[in-house]
Amino acid sequence: MRLCGEGLGWRSGSHWIVQDVTLEIAPGEVFGLIGPNGSGKSTLLRLLAGLSRPTRGEALLDGTPLGRLGAREVARRLAFVQQQAETADRITVRDAVELGRTPWLSALQPWSAEDDRHVARAIAATDMQRFEARDWATLSGGERQRVHIARALAQQPRVLLLDEPTNHLDIRHQLSILQLVAGLGLTTVIALHDLNQAMGCDRLGVMQGGRLVAVGAPAEILTPPLLERVFGVRARALVDPDDGTRHLRFDPIA
Amino acid sequence: MQFPSLRAGLAGLALLAATPAPAQQTVYPLTLDNCGHKITFPARPDNVVTVGQAATEVLYALGVEDRMAGTSLWFNSVMPAFAEADAKVERIADNTPSFESVVGKRPGFVPTMYEWMIGPQGAVGTREQFADLGIPAYVMPPDCIGKDNLSGGDGTRTADFDIATLYQSIAEMAAIMDRQDQGAEVIAALKAREAKAVETAKALSLPDASAVVWFSSADMDLDPYVAGQRGIPAWMMRQLGLRNVVQSDEEWPTVGWEAIAKADPSVVVIAKMDRRRFPADDYEKKLAFLKSDPVTSQMTAVRNGRILIIDAEAMHPALQIVDGLEALTDGMKALSQ
Amino acid sequence: MSLAADTSPMRGLGRIGCLGWRLAGAALILGAAVLGGICIGETRIPPGTVLAVLANRLFDAGFPVAPIDDGIVWAYRLTRALVAAGCGAGLAVCGVILQALLRNPLADPYLLGISAGASTGAVLVAVAGIGAGAVSMSLGAFAGAVAAFAIVAALARAAGGGVGTRGAGLIILSGIAGSQLFNALTSFLIARSANAEQARGILFWLMGNLSGVRWPDVALALPAAVLIVVVALWHTRALDAFTFGADSAAALGVPVRRVQALLILATALATAALVSITGSIGFVGLVVPHAARLLAGPRHGTMMPLAALIGAVFLIAADVLSRIVVPGQVLPIGVVTALVGAPAFALILVRGRAAG
């Protein structure tokens, strides 16, 4: 499933939050979206997910504009995980994951064994079997994020979009979420803050002031000049002697 | 010259005979007790401002419109006999007047027919507010003797209404305005008519008959405002030996049609008025309702056409009370024939 | 308290059977409540007479019955019970919808300014004499309710209200602003022109009153209630999708703007219709959804029908209470729902926490 944006732009009032973004996500790749705060990452993700209508340009799924597909169709192919979604309802983990089947259900297609299977698979994929009957309110931040991902998986998506899913989590949960996402094998677009975590993506897109200023492999993108230009920080790349992975070391702000 | 001195003497005698007894003069300062409040009039009051049609018409009957500065709170058009007098007096408000508009006239006397106009929760003001400005406020006895105005929608009577309180109002107001003779005449005339009506009523000797008095309703189908056990309509019914099917002590309680229908009164009395605030104000609409509602149309009184229409003004503590009693008596007389 | 087991599919016939049992049970409970409402009233009518009247009217049985009793049971009490049931179900369901859409457990059907507008409309007719006695309070109330909702909707739109958390918050604030405006208008009108009699009539209406209900009112109340219940049941899955917010619902394929507009409009119209018949009966739309949630869990598929049933039975019971608690007098039904509803709400909150 190919997801791409052509000339995407979104304006709020007179201010362009996203301007003229064209990018194509290759099927199966993990595409990281990085950029300083206010660079338009979240908005771009929402445009790609079809949650906001672009002021200019269009987002396409397999060549068809999202607007033409209809919300249900889009939801069957594409799942969106918000940064933080809360509820005061007294639901269980299983209830939350079952919501993911919404785009597949209707008056004529009520709940069936098939739906049960997808839910079970999603719960297993996120390793939440022990939590199935737990109340939402009793979960930690990391566990809740896993449940959101499980819900997204229950949608049977081919494309997964995640908006800074690890921001508010502790380090262990951050790593486990990223590992989980990487291991799913879906076309993934993930917005990240931590540049070292972004290293693990197949490709990166850098946003600045609403524009996509660079796209490419992490090694090519995360160079000291770019980091200085876009993020305003000075950094050096260090190589781990054990396995050759690159790691960024940041200098203090002058 | 024939017998000038005799003629003069005879003329003088005739004059003496024709002259009424020396007019009863009020001695000022006048202090009287008005439902437990002492009010004092230092001199004959001028610039009187009334709050309530009943008080206004009593004063017109006493012929003191020249000393009135304003009237307020009207329910109906003024009694035809007083139309000329009324034309001379300014109408401050059709409804409740503001405190300032009343005291702005620098009144020497402010009589009202309702304690909820001037009283502990007075819509116009409290007695104290008036007293602070040296203005004596007076509540007509029918509304404050034997009546608790702090409970119930229009107050609750602690004692049955007695027409003597109306006569007391007229006498007191006459004393205050130094028109005691006039007052006595008005009272005498009313008493005579009352006695006659009561006599006619007793002569009817109706069998155990019951009645309900329907004033109006907030909405056509809603529970009606009916006369309670102790108010003016109840007094009229007692004179006629009619039993009020409504048990409440409130002045105008709301009672469900279900309860009224089950009580099945022999006669239904409905009020006629000029006001059109509620659809049920119109007596024709009341009639139509009684005849068309699935339950009230089954009441004995409605099926047999025993419905009497009485002027609403007669149900207020005012000069028209006796008119109302007469109308009710005449109506019952017609029905019993 | 979860119904994880309940939401797992009941295969084929078994599921329909279970649904059938539930419907039958609900119908039985509702029928019993209506019957109770007819038998108990201000005056004593023996149950035998009540049944005789029903038999005569429904099956032409020909029992001898006093015409007044027949009128009271059929034209007064039955209509009251039916309108109470319809109102209770309708208001409860409207409460469920608004609490789900606006993500606020304190949302109730009157949030959109409807009750305040209805009061103003009724007062304009009853106190200011608009319509000169030709327009009934109900008509004035409906017009007022619709006008108030229109103003609230316009305000919400202008403020940027709509989907999303912030949008929901703006809708609520617009509703509050509109309600305050119309409540102030009502107070002004009452203070300016009402005498004790009028103020009493209005007060009765403002606190809810079923005493003026007749068959024509049933013809308005029941369809309005049935309609909103059907619309609500149709959208239970969509409402579930709002659990994590409007964005989440959109991501799950729910056409959020359309659903929100449709449901809010339907809620507003249904509430306006119901309020114009009965006055503002409070607490039903607020408390019954929570009670249903406590008993059946948060999934709208199960708690919505239960809310409708509880609402209907609750209001019938409240109406009966309002007629017998004080002998010879009928209390405004809003007083009863508040007196019962407030402690019930407290209980729900405490039980809900304990169960957590």
Residue B143 shares a structural domain with residue B251: no
Q: Are A116 and C9 within 8 A, CB to CB?
A: yes
Mean pLDDT rounded to a whole number for chain C:
86
User: Is a pLDDT exceeding 60 seen at residue B2?
Assistant: no
Ordered by start, the domain boundaries in chain A are 3-217, 223-254
- Comparing CB atoms, the residue among A71, A82, A110 nearest residue C255 is A71
- Cα dihedral C51, C57, C60, C64, rounded to 10, equals 60
Please give the CATH architecture assigned to the domain spanning A3-217.
3-Layer(aba) Sandwich (3.40)
| Predicted local confidence at residue A116, as pLDDT | 94
Would you call A31 an interface residue with chain C, using a CB distance cutoff of 8 Å? no
Q: Are C244 and A87 within 8 A, CB to CB?
A: yes
List CB contacts (< 8 A) between C254 and chain A: 71, 102
pLDDT band at C82 (very low <50, low <70, confident <90, very high): very high
Percentage of chain B beyond pLDDT 90 is: 43
Closest chain B CA to residue C204: B218
- Bridge partner residues of A203 (DSSP): A31
Please tell me whether residue A133 adopts helix, strand or coil conformation: coil
| Predicted local confidence at residue C266, as pLDDT | 95
Alpha carbon of B79: minimum distance to chain C alpha carbons (Å): 22
Q: Highest mean pLDDT range out of A240-254, B140-154, C94-108? A: C94-108
Question: Angle at Cα C64 formed by Cα C63 and Cα C70, nearest 5°?
Answer: 90
Q: Verify B-C touch: 3 or more CB pairs within 8 A.
A: yes
pLDDT band at B7 (very low <50, low <70, confident <90, very high): low
Would you call A163 an interface residue with chain C, using a CB distance cutoff of 8 Å? no
Chain segment C236-268, per-residue pLDDT in tens:
999 999 999 999 999 999 999 899 999 999 999
Residue B329 shares a structural domain with residue B233: yes
Percentage of chain A beyond pLDDT 90 is: 56
Closest chain A CA to residue C294: A90
pLDDT band at C6 (very low <50, low <70, confident <90, very high): very low
Starting at the edge strand that comes first in sequence, how are the strands of the sheet with A15-25 ordered? A15-25, A3-12, A56-61, A64-65
Taken as a whole, chain C contains a residue count of 356
How far apart are alpha carbons C110 and C176 in whole angstroms? Answer: 10
Instruction: Classify burial at C161, counting beta carbons within 10 Å of its beta carbon; exposed 0-12, middle 13-18, buried 19 or more.
Output: buried
- The answer to whether the CB of A151 falls within 8 A of the CB of A39 is no
| Predicted local confidence at residue B74, as pLDDT | 85
How far apart are alpha carbons C318 and C334 in whole angstroms? Answer: 9
User: Is a pLDDT exceeding 50 seen at residue B319?
Assistant: yes
Percentage of chain A beyond pLDDT 70 is: 100
Q: Give the position of tokens 């308005």.
A: C220
Mean pLDDT rounded to a whole number for chain B:
86
User: Is a pLDDT exceeding 50 seen at residue C1?
Assistant: no
Alpha carbon of C108: minimum distance to chain B alpha carbons (Å): 27
List CB contacts (< 8 A) between C193 and chain B: 95
pLDDT band at B328 (very low <50, low <70, confident <90, very high): confident
C10, C11, C240, C244: best mutation site toward chain A, by most A Cβ within 10 Å?
C244
Question: What's the mean pLDDT in B310-318?
Answer: 85
pLDDT band at C126 (very low <50, low <70, confident <90, very high): confident
Alpha carbon of B206: minimum distance to chain C alpha carbons (Å): 25
Q: Which CATH number do you get for residue B314?
A: 3.40.50.1980
Closest chain C CA to residue A133: C4
Chain segment B138-184, per-residue pLDDT in tens:
999 988 888 887 776 677 788 888 889 999 999 999 999 999 999 99
Residue B139 shares a structural domain with residue B219: no
Chain segment C273-311, per-residue pLDDT in tens:
999 888 889 889 999 999 999 899 899 999 999 999 999
- Bridge partner residues of B72 (DSSP): B93
List CB contacts (< 8 A) between C41 and chain B: 258
| Predicted local confidence at residue C341, as pLDDT | 87
Looking at B188, B218, B236, the residue that finishes a domain is B188
Residue B225 shares a structural domain with residue B170: no
Chain segment A13-34, per-residue pLDDT in tens:
889 999 999 999 999 999 999 9
Would you call A52 an interface residue with chain C, using a CB distance cutoff of 8 Å? no
How far apart are alpha carbons B290 and B284 in whole angstroms? Answer: 10
- Comparing CB atoms, the residue among C42, C74, C136 nearest residue B256 is C42
Range of the domain at B271: 204-335
Would you call C211 an interface residue with chain B, using a CB distance cutoff of 8 Å? yes
Residue B105 shares a structural domain with residue B225: no
- The answer to whether the CB of B141 falls within 8 A of the CB of B165 is yes
The one-letter code for the residue type at A185 is: G
CB pairs under 8 A between A and C: 97
Omega within 30 of 0 (cis) for the link into B29: yes
* DSSP classification of residue B121: T
Number of domains in chain B: 2
Residue B168 shares a structural domain with residue B236: no
Chain segment B211-226, per-residue pLDDT in tens:
999 998 877 878 898 9
User: Is a pLDDT exceeding 50 seen at residue C8?
Assistant: no
Whether residue B260 lies inside any domain: the answer is yes
> In terms of Cα–Cα distance, which of C202, C289, C204 is closest to C239?
C289
Tell me the C-alpha to C-alpha distance, in Å, between residue C93 and each of B25, B65, B159, B221, B296. 75, 64, 50, 28, 36
Query: Domains of chain C (ranges plus CATH)?
Result: 90-355 (1.10.3470.10)
Residue B62 shares a structural domain with residue B122: yes
Whether residue B108 lies inside any domain: the answer is yes
Question: What's the mean pLDDT in A94-104?
Answer: 95
| Predicted local confidence at residue C14, as pLDDT | 47
The one-letter code for the residue type at A232 is: G
| Predicted local confidence at residue C195, as pLDDT | 64
How far apart are alpha carbons B112 and B212 in whole angstroms? Answer: 28
Those chains having 3 or more beta-carbon pairs within 8 angstroms of chain A are C
For chain C, the three-class secondary structure string (H helix, E strand, C coil) is: CCCHHHHCCCCHHHHHHHHHHHHHHHHHHHHHHHHHHHHCCCCCCCHHHHHHHHHHHHHCCCCCCCHHHHHHHHHHHHHHHHHHHHHHHHHHHHHHHHHHHCCCCCCCHHHHCHHHHHHHHHHHHHCCCCCCCCCCHHHHHHHHHHHHHHHHHHHHHHHCCCCCHHHHHHHHHHHHHHHHHHHHHHHHHHHHHCCHHHHHHHHHHHCCCCCCCCHHHHHHHHHHHHHHHHHHHHCHHHHHHHHHCHHHHHHCCCCHHHHHHHHHHHHHHHHHHHHHHHCCCCCHHHHHHHHHHHHHCCCHHHHHHHHHHHHHHHHHHHHHHHHHCCCCCCCCHHHHHHHHHHHHHHHHHHHHHHHC
Chain segment A199-235, per-residue pLDDT in tens:
889 999 999 999 999 999 998 888 888 888 888 888 8
Chain segment C152-201, per-residue pLDDT in tens:
999 988 887 766 667 788 888 999 999 999 999 988 888 776 566 667 66
Residue B151 shares a structural domain with residue B220: no
- The answer to whether the CB of B254 falls within 8 A of the CB of C233 is no
> In terms of Cα–Cα distance, which of A59, A247, A88, A67 is closest to A161?
A59
| Predicted local confidence at residue C16, as pLDDT | 54
User: Is a pLDDT exceeding 70 seen at residue B3?
Assistant: no
pLDDT band at C353 (very low <50, low <70, confident <90, very high): low
Please tell me whether residue A192 adopts helix, strand or coil conformation: coil
Residue B76 shares a structural domain with residue B141: yes
Element (H, E) at A210: none
User: Is a pLDDT exceeding 60 seen at residue B11?
Assistant: no
Alpha carbon of C348: minimum distance to chain A alpha carbons (Å): 13
Instruction: Classify burial at B224, counting beta carbons within 10 Å of its beta carbon; exposed 0-12, middle 13-18, buried 19 or more.
Output: buried
Residue B249 shares a structural domain with residue B169: no
How far apart are alpha carbons B286 and B288 in whole angstroms? Answer: 5
Question: What's the mean pLDDT in C5-30?
Answer: 67
Residue B53 shares a structural domain with residue B146: yes
- Comparing CB atoms, the residue among B154, B216, B222 nearest residue C196 is B154
Chain segment C205-243, per-residue pLDDT in tens:
778 888 888 898 899 999 999 999 999 999 999 999 999
B262, B289, B296: best mutation site toward chain C, by most C Cβ within 10 Å?
B262
CB crowding C15-27: b at 16 or more within 10 Å, else e: eeeeeeeeeeebe
- The answer to whether the CB of B30 falls within 8 A of the CB of B175 is yes
- Comparing CB atoms, the residue among C9, C241, C252 nearest residue A111 is C9
Closest chain C CA to residue B218: C201
User: Is a pLDDT exceeding 70 seen at residue A83?
Assistant: yes
